Amino acid sequence: QVQLVESGGGLVQAGGSLRLSCAASRSIFRINAMGWYRQAPGEQRELVATITNGGSTNYGDSVKGRFTISRENAKNTVYLQMSSLRPEDTAVYYCYLFFMARDYWGQGTQVTVSS
């Protein structure tokens, strides 16, 4: 079992920045696939960014060049630095990891970008 706790969401004006954090309840050193997804009202959950244990990253097309994912294994934490935020980035952001053949999700953190 792994618990994930997100933090760092909030209200920001367009063009602003936020950093999300996701703390895992166990060591993430051997967990390869971790990332962030988001879901806006009435929309399907979509990929934001993923990162492997080796540091390889993958981003959704809509956030490339604006968001940066990173991980700090010593703190069992994954981060999402979001810059140049747009109103269409408004969503609940979920932390995700895959471990022992199971998906784990955090409870989500709301990000609201005002125009």
The 3 state secondary structure assigned to 59-87 is: ECCCCCCCEEEEEEHHHCEEEEEECCCCH
Q: Return the pLDDT at 32.
A: 82
pLDDT of amino acid 42: 94
Residue 27: pLDDT band (50, 70, 90) is: confident
26: pLDDT strictly greater than 90: no
Query: For residue range 56-102, what is the model confidence (pLDDT) as tens digits?
Result: 999 999 999 999 999 999 999 999 999 999 999 999 999 999 988 99
Q: How far apart are CA 43 and CA 38, in angstroms?
A: 9
As a whole-number percent, the residues of the chain with pLDDT over 90 amount to 86
